[in-house]
Structure 1
Amino acid sequence: MHINLISDTVTKPTQGMLDAMMSAKVGDDVFKTDPTVNALEEKVAVMFGKEAALFFPSGTMANQTGIKLHTQPGDQLICDKYAHIYNYEGGGVSFNSGVSCKLIDGDRGMITAKQVEGAINPPDFYHSPLTSLVCVENTTNKGGGACWDVEELKKIKEVCNTNQLAYHLDGARLWNALVEKKENALAYGTLFDTISVCLSKGLGCPVGSVLVGSKEQMQQALRVRKIFGGGMRQAGFLAAAGIYALDNHIERLLEDHQKAREIGEVLSKLTYIKQVEPIETNIIIFEIDEKFMTGDTFVEKLKEKDVSIIDMGQGKLRIVTHLDYTDTMHNAFLNILKNL
């Protein structure tokens, strides 16, 4: 029994999802005539109270399109130093949009309104890049699945409004935050100009993310997606998986969170674990005490037990629980940790 905990992107479609995919009505989405893609886009737009949405093959492309919509080459965006758009999107901010990032040293990937205000370049000082966008990520990947306080997000929105800045949410794992904090998607729709949400992480779809915003923004996004090579034809087979996941897989994310907490409890009691970061959702980030073994050795020992986790570098290891991580796997993994 292989236990794969490197990410929540490793899942396979459930039988119900496969049935929905195989029975999907499809057209050519490049011509916007795929009824299932259109239905998915409408469904997500309504969830967030936005005018329109656009289906993308990846979260990176959705984020990169959002950034492109709000900036001009030479501009600067503000984000946390842990931000996915800066660390894990291949330098796309600079390559695709010609934009630089002003990095803020936040707390587990989360920044404050005061920090944002202090990072804005004076708009009349033409020697520095023009600040045009603030990007935040919820939950934070590198921050260990941390959930934002929505009140702080509202304060940042006020700073954006005062300084005429756009506001984009990388909501790849926003579903996890919504169920954990008992929050509503509509509240996020009122806060942000654009939001990207991922279907292929906790929700268990094989492919896909969705960008939401105004009708005008999504018309622009359609052109940007084309330039990025993101047009798909009979994409309704993939969109059907998204619709099924939104209807069936959101509330069950709490099961992943509970399993993650239980793993964290076991790790924190082991002598060879130096530190376990706070666990709010489905991501566990921890460090090995190198008096006992190195992180590489720990990863190899787990591999020998047919367990896969990921090394994030800088001494940090990561475990991510997900839809395909069963109760049987969970009990086996806890025993492996206790007896390693």
Structure 2
Amino acid sequence: MNRKRIIDLRSDTVTRPTADMIEAMSRAELGDDFFRDDPTVLAFEEEAADLLGMEAAMLVISGTMGNLVCALSLSPRGSSFIVEANAHIQINESGWPAAIAGLTAKPVHGVAGKIGVDALKQAIAETQMRLSAPPSLLCLENTHNAAGGRVTDPSHLAELADVAHARGIKVHLDGARIFNAAVALGRPVRDFMRNVDTTTFCLSKGLSCALGAVVAGSADAVQAARRWRQVIGGGMRQAGVIAAAGRVALKSMVERLAVDHENARLLATRLRDAGLEVDVEAVETNMMFLKVPNGFDQHLFQSELRASGIVITPPKSGRIRLVTHREVSTSDIVFCSGIIGRAFDLAQRQKVCADADTTTAEVVY
């Protein structure tokens, strides 16, 4: 069955701004953000800080930029930062900790993206030797991308932050999808912020803005981050066109994330029921992973999906990530699950046939 409409399950970053966002952007009152006289930016930053329960907030271009300027503000060059081994900062942000911030990573393997309290204490102890880079920062991630959108609850965040602070280590929360975490647990987003020094969240992804992210923390931390934003070329002028969409997103796009979570679980359940290897219980927000066998014909799989208007990312480390978002409806999920199941079976049978041909060839020769 061919469909003209594309169903894009690669990421929630593919979402496009809503009509209300575009209208707000077109009507935004603008100034020069460098001079701090863009009224739309000022209003947005105040609203974001209040929502998070933080003293101050700042608009940046991306979550990666936000993480970078926070680290530069909190950590001296030559020190180390403790981070979960598969955190986005560690594996997906182009190496800025070493390349730009002068920081050495101290990776800690967590469970479902969560660092254990004892593991954190051990990591800190291992960096106390004279030959080690002293730790200055603990970086946490919520939701955890590589773990499949898994959520760390505020009480565990507080435990980890208490351990770090007791040893003079600052805490940064990469909250790119923190509103997914808040909606999943039914908690106010400020509950996740009570014990961290700085945080970021993305306006793109599930909130559907075209671009933008927010840095938040104490007034002093945000002032330092603003200076670092300028250093790395992130200063902006009439940034109210970005902030205007962000204001709409914070008012209208947060609660609806629950629909994305329901759709991700529905997709996972339907694929599991079709015989595919999926851990439905691990689906906490808007992501799920589909395990694939060795030798799986990924090119055939993807081409079959593309023929039906479904776009996914290639398998990585033996699994495929599927992400739901505002532009994927429940009816899309029902449609996709059937196509994915059939394409998966075809790609797996193709592998079996190829293996059989190889075995036959070996016998002949």
Bin for the TM-score computed over the shorter chain: over 0.9
Deviation at 1:296, TM superposition (A): 4.0
Is it true that 1:286 corresponds to 2:295 in the alignment?
no
Name the SS of the counterpart of 1:116 in structure 2.
helix
Deviation at 1:290, TM superposition (A): 4.4
Q: Which residue of 1 aligns with 2:336?
A: 333
Q: Which residue of 2 aligns with 1:253?
A: 257
Q: CA contact under 8 A between 1:287 and 1:295: conserved in structure 2?
A: no
> What does 1:75-94 correspond to in 2, within 5 Å?
75-94=79-98
Q: Which residue of 2 aligns with 1:111?
A: 115
C-alpha distance 315-300 of structure 1, shift in aligned 2 (>3 A): farther
CA distance in 2, matches of 1:58, 1:240: 16
Q: Which residue of 2 aligns with 1:170?
A: 174
Q: CA contact under 8 A between 1:121 and 1:128: conserved in structure 2?
A: no
Q: Which residue of 2 aligns with 1:102?
A: 106
Name the SS of the counterpart of 1:9 in structure 2.
helix
Q: Which residue of 2 aligns with 1:243?
A: 247
Name the SS of the counterpart of 2:113 in structure 1.
coil
Is it true that 1:317 corresponds to 2:320 in the alignment?
yes
Name the SS of the counterpart of 1:102 in structure 2.
strand
Deviation at 1:124, TM superposition (A): 5.9
More divergent stretch after superposition (29-38 vs 245-254)? 29-38
Correspondence for 1:47 among 48, 51, 54: 51
Correspondence for 1:74 among 56, 78, 99: 78
Q: CA contact under 8 A between 1:283 and 1:318: conserved in structure 2?
A: yes
Deviation at 1:137, TM superposition (A): 0.4
Is it true that 1:221 corresponds to 2:194 in the alignment?
no
Deviation at 1:123, TM superposition (A): 6.9
Name the SS of the counterpart of 2:260 in structure 1.
helix
Q: Which residue of 1 aligns with 2:189?
A: 185
Q: Which residue of 2 aligns with 1:299?
A: 302
Deviation at 1:253, TM superposition (A): 0.2
Correspondence for 1:32 among 16, 25, 36: 36
Q: Which runs of 5+ in 1 are unaligned?
A: none
Q: Which runs of 5+ in 2 are unaligned?
A: 344-365
Name the SS of the counterpart of 1:66 in structure 2.
helix
| TM-score w.r.t. length of structure 1 | 0.95
CA distance in 2, matches of 1:70, 1:298: 45
Is it true that 1:194 corresponds to 2:160 in the alignment?
no
CA distance in 2, matches of 1:177, 1:47: 15
Deviation at 1:138, TM superposition (A): 0.4
How high is the sequence identity, in percent, across the aligned residues? 36
Is it true that 1:212 corresponds to 2:219 in the alignment?
no
Amino acid of the structure 2 residue aligned with 1:287: K
C-alpha distance 132-312 of structure 1, shift in aligned 2 (>3 A): farther
Q: CA contact under 8 A between 2:267 and 2:334: conserved in structure 1?
A: no
Deviation at 1:121, TM superposition (A): 4.2
| TM-score w.r.t. length of structure 2 | 0.89
C-alpha distance 7-318 of structure 1, shift in aligned 2 (>3 A): same
> What does 1:152-167 correspond to in 2, within 5 Å?
152-167=156-171
Deviations, residues 296-338 of structure 1 (Å, cap 9, x unaligned): 4322321222211113521121111011113442332123234
CA distance in 1, matches of 2:151, 2:297: 30
CA distance in 1, matches of 2:323, 2:126: 41
Deviations, residues 129-149 of structure 1 (Å, cap 9, x unaligned): 101111110000000000013
C-alpha distance 67-113 of structure 1, shift in aligned 2 (>3 A): same
Q: CA contact under 8 A between 2:30 and 2:40: conserved in structure 1?
A: yes
